[in-house]
Chains A and B, each alone.
Chain A
């Protein structure tokens, strides 16, 4: 049983026009097995929250705390956060030219497990994970995210989620750019990871569409760098009907 606690998190970013405060005090508590949907309009700070927890160097933490089972996450390097059990499925996964998917996955698994996975079982693991996400076997020999379609990038992210078995996953607009079939396949992958590892999930999205496949326990509305409303799945229905206008007009 793990708990990710975000307390009064304040984050700024340096731009050409000076320092801009993006997160203005975010509080969230996520426990193993729970799924928290974070919904909100563009520019409300959802992705900043995701990247800040993962440790992207672009973001400066100016206040507050993030702990995983009481341990300070913000003090950790990016790889240490992954080793502690955090995973970020990125909205725009990065191309790494010349590095094959299979080499990348094996290097990551070796780093996270502390030893190289046994070749025979590993090959089977990767094959199963790829099949489950309806990915062609040739995928393993391609370079990481290079020339991938939007859907392939997202499947690749969720394949890593299943293979690397984190405790807590942040899914940053995993649904964007997916057609109905891909959305279902990717959602099933997330649900498998939840079931297999009692995964806690922060699901960042604009739309309620993905929530039909991945059932949230809590819904948080994000606006202007804060959580402005919280509720159960019914809140998503309300957003679907009314949009975000109520939260951004002032």
Chain B
């Protein structure tokens, strides 16, 4: 269940360490949870803090530093199969508990019994008491937070992407992880080319999941990119857009290669590029 570290040198596996403590230390001295007796390793070299299913690696101001997947780092949110490098030694992080529960169980929302105080990975506070929503009735109410006063609220802006944490940024490769893999989204880029009017000849690449066409207040349609392909739907306006001369209904209609869309008096052609 717990994640583990596999210690190896020059490809030979030396030992396995289950991450069964909230804070595990790695270092040369014997008292470390992962003791590596080598002069390139600092006395207390690094620590791994585990909060439930997430583990965070942290450099404890070591002399020779840390690498994760070949990239020097100070602090890193460990992902399955990450390889931590300390001198000649390699520690592979294996976290496979996801495969041991069914996805349905895993997704279930649960309640934490006591509100966790803010953890500090360095200080290594014990993890909070956690229980599934059922079974643990009757313990102390969650009242530690003072009554919140009503007041104006400063909403967090989310249009600007958050600055990635300094430590994690170099270690995470360009493949910016999305919460959900967009499996099955058509790889081919579709294009709408304007056939008539002042913009005739212009191409619009449908790279977003949602593209609107038309004039607001007059006639608007939306083109959506879905795993099955591209669809056109009427959004607003008294008249409905035409596809190959046929008016849309209230339903979405899948677009096929070389379909001609007519919208607000402008004709456009839909096709796949390349």
A and B interact physically: no
Chain B residues with CB under 8 Å of chain A are none
